[in-house]
Amino acid sequence: MSGRTEAEGRTHIKKMKTEDWVKEPDWRSTQLQTKNMKVALDYVRDLFRLPVTIYSLSHREQLLYPQYFGITSCEEMHIWKADEIPDSELKYVLEKVEISKKLILDLMRNDDFEYGFIRFSMDHLEIYRAFWITKETFLAMDCARIHLSGHKNLPIREFVSQWLSSRNTRFEWLKMHWNGEDISWNDGLEPMKWNPAIRGRNFEISDFQRVDCEKGIDFLREDGLLATVVKGGLGLIYFIVWHKRFQPEADDLRLDSS
């Protein structure tokens, strides 16, 4: 973002006729003013009664937080900034904004951020540097797809056991980092080895990536839903539900590794 406040001019050469040329000045501001952004947003929302569908805040923007715009609901919200985000702004997002489809949150510089219990229920949840996520918040996540990194020791075995005892048919997959400890899957969970006749080897975790579940541990829920826990590279661990047991379209995708 530029610190200049003056307008910056340039010249267009516009051909009117074969033999006639005219110079047309084009003036534009080189500074994005926060106040003007809010005025423009309020005007468009009031004029067309449009909801906010996607809000994105990256390191290039300054002070354009959801609270300033009065955003209380949206389909998707992406926040990643190279500098520290005020705690009050983060808490506003967590407490006041209803997000239906996707939340991507990366707290690059909020090393001391703390938060108690919160219930996430959007379709897709992606949190980097999730050190502030508590055990209670983790176990209460009601999302279809969950990706966590940079978190503390969270009880994935309890998460799996909880799903097996539930009637949750929305959940699709969990991706997180494994701290290397041995996890006993035998106590009351009835694990099974992979049977190629029951499910495929590869799971499509995105349009471009797959998870190799050849060495995974399978679990069959009472309602017939099949799930797999499998360790990946770089300390990753996945918990996957096979809503579609055979996915040949995943075989040619790139192996997920980040």
Give the tens place of pLDDT for each residue, 135-193: 999 999 999 999 999 999 999 999 999 999 999 999 999 999 987 778 899 988 999 99
DSSP for residue 48: H
* pLDDT beneath 70, residues of the chain: 1-45, 47-49, 59-62
Query: Residue 146 has what pLDDT?
Result: 98
Query: Residue 59 has what pLDDT?
Result: 67
Query: Residue 227 has what pLDDT?
Result: 98
Tokens of 88: 């009050």
Contacts of 228 (CB under 8 A, 6+ apart): 194, 199, 203, 213, 216, 217, 218, 219, 238, 239, 240, 242
> What are the residue ranges spanned by the domains of the chain?
33-153, 155-258
Query: Residue 44 has what pLDDT?
Result: 66
Tokens of 29: 């501001």
Number of H helices, E strands in the chain: 5, 14
